[in-house]
């Protein structure tokens, strides 16, 4: 099968490559390449390759970065000059997530969606994701950010390590990461997961 440059595109919002047939899995469904899936692949790579029961936070950050070498989708997402979060930066979303959530620099419209995600009501994540896409008051960047957060929280709903802080930690981790890059948001969210294992 021949392929030319027009068949191979990069989605600037997702950082994943696609072509007419590369996104089709063996079962005929499109292969997942969204940010939430990449975050899960990163945590799976970490738990598969590293036993870190005694590792401190700074060591977990380095080990997670090493695990990223096993996740080609994450590698292709990383921008030139990608920088890991420091232990101090990670502390904002791992332990200081309550205050950090309150001071997030997001629009009122985006805040309303985030508040829905941490609210006590049951959430239909698929409906919420569709609502985000249709919301004309959100910028395209806000939609990408919210899609990642909604999809990840939906994918990890009822996760065995979930507790009352799960949503806030992941929201703060993602939003703070997006200030640098999509790869940083994914890395931060994966870090939340591995620190709770």
pLDDT at residue number 136 = 96
pTM over 0.85: no
Q: Is 155 exposed, middle or buried (0-12, 13-18, 19+ CB in 10 A)?
A: middle
Helix (H, G, I), strand (E, B) or coil at 18: strand
Q: Where are the beta strands (DSSP E) in 79-189?
A: none
pLDDT of 104 higher than 80: yes
Average pLDDT over all residues of the chain: 84
Q: Is 65 exposed, middle or buried (0-12, 13-18, 19+ CB in 10 A)?
A: middle
Average pLDDT over residues 105-126: 93
Q: What is the DSSP letter of 24?
A: B
Rounded CA Rg of the chain: 17
- Residue pair 34/21 in contact by the 8 Å Cβ criterion: no
Mean pLDDT lowest among 17-21, 82-86, 111-115, 166-170:
17-21
């Amino acid at each position: 099968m021949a392929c030319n440059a027009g068949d191979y595109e990069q989605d600037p919002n997702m950082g994943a490559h696609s072509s007419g047939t590369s996104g089709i899995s063996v079962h005929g469904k499109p292969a997942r390449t969204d940010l939430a899936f990449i975050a899960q692949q990163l945590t799976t790579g970490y738990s598969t390759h590293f036993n870190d029961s005694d590792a401190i936070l700074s060591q977990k950050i380095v080990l997670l970065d090493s695990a990223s070498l096993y996740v080609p989708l994450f590698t292709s997402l990383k921008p030139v000059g990608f920088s890991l979060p420091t232990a101090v930066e990670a502390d904002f979303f791992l332990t200081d997530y309550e205050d950090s959530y309150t001071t997030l620099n997001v629009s009122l419209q985006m805040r309303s969606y985030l508040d829905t995600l941490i609210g006590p009501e049951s959430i239909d994540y698929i409906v919420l994701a569709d609502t985000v896409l249709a919301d004309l008051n959100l910028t395209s960047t806000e939609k990408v950010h919210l899609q990642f957060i909604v999809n990840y929280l939906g994918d990890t709903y009822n996760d065995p390590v979930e507790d009352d802080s799960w949503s806030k930690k992941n929201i703060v981790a993602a939003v703070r990461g997006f200030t640098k890059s999509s790869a940083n948001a994914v890395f931060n969210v994966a870090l939340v997961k591995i620190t709770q294992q």
